[in-house]
Amino acid sequence: MSSRGVWIAPLVVMLLSLILELFGDAGRGWLRYDRDRIADGQWWRFLSGNFVHLGWYHLMLNEIGIVMMVLLCPDRLSPWVWLRRIGIIGTGMTLCLYAFVPSMTRYVGLSGMLHGLFLLGLGRQALKRDWIAIACLLYLFGKLGYESITGTPVSDEAAIGGRVALESHFYGTLCALAYGFVFRSFTGGLERPRPYKREREVPE
């Protein structure tokens, strides 16, 4: 299998988010993280809120983020590993919002989960002394520190059409860190990327 395999799962996430954006306010209303609706038993919102956005510009920023993640962290993971990462980090992040940020009643977007996925991909490469990955990790932690200390987002809130949920970035990264230790993602113990295979080789 060629290196194109690294794009399959990320493209599915991008396509899903794109399709949901076509439903506009109705889609956001049904799927966003909504504290009151979750309290009424609409548990799916813990995960689905990650895939809807404030608008096309907000979606575009996160789609670009996914592309950058794949370019920087081109590990060919199995669909099961991708599903597990997205499910645990996305749900874990919103559970943290529900438990620790009661003032945040609504949330949409991939950015919290994306921070966590960046950490998993860059962390593994940084341990191999990939200096580009190390520099990107330093930027990630510096960004989180800056946002936490100043309360000022790097993104333009006016452009995306709403407040940037800085807490989601922090908890998405924290959930990914815990995930990485549990599943040994940084060392490849339980999530070893599949090796690339030439197209003429017989698949195992």
| Residue 85 in this model has a pLDDT that exceeds 70 | yes
**Position 131 confidence tier, pLDDT thresholds 50, 70, 90:** very high
Residue 199 confidence class, pLDDT cut points 50, 70, 90 = very low
pLDDT of residue 192: 61
CATH of 3-182 given 1.20.1540.10, 3.40.250.10, 3.40.50.2300, 1.10.3210.10: 1.20.1540.10
* Residue 200, pLDDT score: 44
Q: Where are the domains of the chain?
A: 3-182
pLDDT at 94 > cutoff 50: yes
Residue 204 confidence (pLDDT) above 50: no
* Residue range 100-108: mean pLDDT, rounded: 96
pLDDT number for residue 187: 84
* DSSP letter, residue 4: G
- For residues 37 and 126, what is the distance between their CA atoms, to the nearest angstrom? 40
Structure tokens at 191: 């999530």
pLDDT bucket at 158, cuts 50 / 70 / 90: confident
Give the pLDDT band of residue 25 (cuts 50, 70, 90).
Answer: very high
* Residue 106: band (very low, low, confident or very high) from pLDDT cuts 50, 70, 90: very high
Residue 98 has pLDDT above 50, yes or no: yes
Q: Which residues pair with 106 in a beta bridge?
A: 34
